[in-house]
Chains A and B, each alone.
Chain A
């Protein structure tokens, strides 16, 4: 089964867009691994939200960077893409005050991660 996306723009709430499934659904070799990834996602989401709230850009970028590198490998290419966009914005973000300009990208990544845990 493929990753599903019911469409709509990035600001749409989770309720409209439905669960995000790994490309490896049905692959016995990968399912245990995907399960572990999904299990750790809420913790990653919480960390990212905390770093965002306290404007700790470096720490936030690190978590986003790791999600970018791993997402597609676990069957979530959209998470890798969203993380890549956010990472690029965070790296050119001038200061704590400039963080707001990254909000749309941030929300998109958080949304995808939440949907993957559903």
Chain B
């Protein structure tokens, strides 16, 4: 189910395409800092751009696609933590590594920074060589992560297959099902109220929930099943040789396991998921998009009915419904 590990360090470096210099975005209200940083990074093969407040910083982060953000905390309009939260809540900037560069050396500020998703914390006045080393380390880490995700087709955070792999497998499973006449089930599931969870408990907690859910999937599914991270908080499962009732049973197991799951580091978290299920028997197999859309409608129906439940696609209604009705009819 999960991808095998790939040692990227063994990949020949000439295989990577030439890259334009990484862009470093500094968000700090003091011109003193901007001048200093530009000078200290002059020979590092990076391009430095700057913003003097949070909103300007957020705009630049979205438009200029920097490779890394250096973020001050103590600023007059938007505090650094507010800016960090905004960066992590926006899908365009969520993957940007952020190093906090702050005059506060307080441990609780450092803890908060990491909880909100910062990759590193440097205190001012900073040592130039140290800052350079940490920047390069963060950039290297992100490069490796991106390579890993692309080449191994796994999702970096959860270890599940990524969406690209899902699309490939979906196509081949459809072929098998058509040829061998055996049922394949497709499930799309979505964590309930995930954005609210991230806002309440922080980015690190959100990651822990995603990883926890991935563990449950791997535990409850068989080795022939394909579990993918489909989107931010969305997952897709391909279950070969599986009838509708078997798929519903598996989803129920996963749903109750998630409901019961607790995280020691975040004792206040209660997570639930909604599930939409369909099988090859009810959809036009020549069109994988239609198949995915069927599971999506079942998911939508589950959300609409109150979340934290499993719904199935009903072809007669061309919409989702609770499993009992559908399974009774199927006999």
Pick the interface stretch among B34-42, B227-235, B268-276.
B34-42
Instruction: Say yes or no: A37-B74 contact (C-beta < 8 A), given A69-B124, A73-B126.
Output: no
Distance in angstroms from B132 CB to nearest chain A CB is: 13
Cβ contact within 8 Å between A77 and B32: no
Cβ contact within 8 Å between A65 and B103: yes
Distance in angstroms from A93 CB to nearest chain B CB is: 18
Complex alpha-carbon distance, A29 and B40, angstroms: 9
For window 19-60 of chain B, which residues contact chain A by CB distance below 8 Å?
30, 32-33, 35-36, 39-40, 42
Cβ contact within 8 Å between A65 and B74: yes
Complex alpha-carbon distance, A104 and B33, angstroms: 27
Q: Scoring A residues 53 to 83 as 1 if CB is less than 8 Å from chain B, else 0, what string do you get?
A: 0000000000001101111111001001000
Q: Does A30 contact B (CB under 8 A)?
A: yes
Complex alpha-carbon distance, A73 and B261, angstroms: 48
For window 67-118 of chain A, which residues contact chain B by CB distance below 8 Å?
68-74, 77, 80
Instruction: Say yes or no: A69-B33 contact (C-beta < 8 A), given A77-B125, A80-B125.
Output: yes
Cβ contact within 8 Å between A70 and B33: yes
Cβ contact within 8 Å between B39 and A69: no
Identity of the chain B residue whose Cβ is nearest the Cβ of A40 in the assembled complex: B32
Provide the residues of chain B in CB contact with A73, threshold 8 Å.
Answer: 36, 40, 124-126, 128
Distance in angstroms from B197 CB to nearest chain A CB is: 34
Instruction: Say yes or no: A68-B30 contact (C-beta < 8 A), given A29-B39, A33-B35, A33-B39.
Output: no
Cβ contact within 8 Å between B103 and A33: no
Tell me which of B42, B125, B128 has the highest count of chain A C-beta atoms within 10 A of its own C-beta. B125
Complex alpha-carbon distance, A72 and B129, angstroms: 13
Provide the residues of chain A in CB contact with B39, threshold 8 Å.
Answer: 29-30, 33
Provide the residues of chain A in CB contact with B33, threshold 8 Å.
Answer: 69-70
Identity of the chain B residue whose Cβ is nearest the Cβ of A74 in the assembled complex: B36
Distance in angstroms from A81 CB to nearest chain B CB is: 9
Provide the residues of chain A in CB contact with B126, threshold 8 Å.
Answer: 73
Cβ contact within 8 Å between B103 and A68: yes
Complex alpha-carbon distance, A5 and B246, angstroms: 81
Complex alpha-carbon distance, A100 and B33, angstroms: 30
Tell which of A33, A65, A68, A80 touches B36, judged by Cβ atoms closer than 8 Å: A33
Identity of the chain A residue whose Cβ is nearest the Cβ of B128 in the assembled complex: A73
Q: Does A1 contact B (CB under 8 A)?
A: no
For window 121-176 of chain B, which residues contact chain A by CB distance below 8 Å?
124-126, 128
Cβ contact within 8 Å between B74 and A68: no
Tell which of B30, B35, B42, B125 touches A72, judged by Cβ atoms closer than 8 Å: B125
Cβ contact within 8 Å between A69 and B125: yes
Complex alpha-carbon distance, A71 and B128, angstroms: 13
Cβ contact within 8 Å between B74 and A29: no
Provide the residues of chain B in CB contact with A29, threshold 8 Å.
Answer: 39, 42
Q: Does A36 contact B (CB under 8 A)?
A: yes
Provide the residues of chain A in CB contact with B124, threshold 8 Å.
Answer: 68-70, 73
Distance in angstroms from A25 CB to nearest chain B CB is: 15
Instruction: Say yes or no: A70-B74 contact (C-beta < 8 A), given A29-B42, A77-B125, A80-B125.
Output: no
Distance in angstroms from B110 CB to nearest chain A CB is: 16
Provide the residues of chain A in CB contact with B35, threshold 8 Å.
Answer: 33, 36
Identity of the chain B residue whose Cβ is nearest the Cβ of A36 in the assembled complex: B35
Distance in angstroms from B217 CB to nearest chain A CB is: 46
Provide the residues of chain B in CB contact with A36, threshold 8 Å.
Answer: 35
Cβ contact within 8 Å between A70 and B36: yes
Instruction: Say yes or no: A66-B32 contact (C-beta < 8 A), given A29-B42, A33-B39.
Output: yes
Complex alpha-carbon distance, A65 and B39, angstroms: 21
Per CB-CB distance, the 4 closest pairs between chain A and chain B, nearest first, are A72-B125, A69-B124, A69-B103, A70-B32
Given contacts A66-B32, A70-B124, A70-B125, list 4 more A-B pairs with CB under 8 A. Answer: A33-B36, A66-B30, A71-B125, A73-B36
Task: Give B contacts to A, CB under 8 Å.
Answer: 30, 32-33, 35-36, 39-40, 42, 74, 103, 124-126, 128
| 19 pairs of residues in contact across A and B, judged by CB atoms under 8 Å | A30-B39, A33-B39, A36-B35, A66-B30, A66-B103, A68-B103, A68-B125, A69-B33, A69-B103, A69-B124, A70-B36, A70-B125, A73-B40, A73-B124, A73-B125, A73-B126, A74-B32, A77-B125, A80-B125
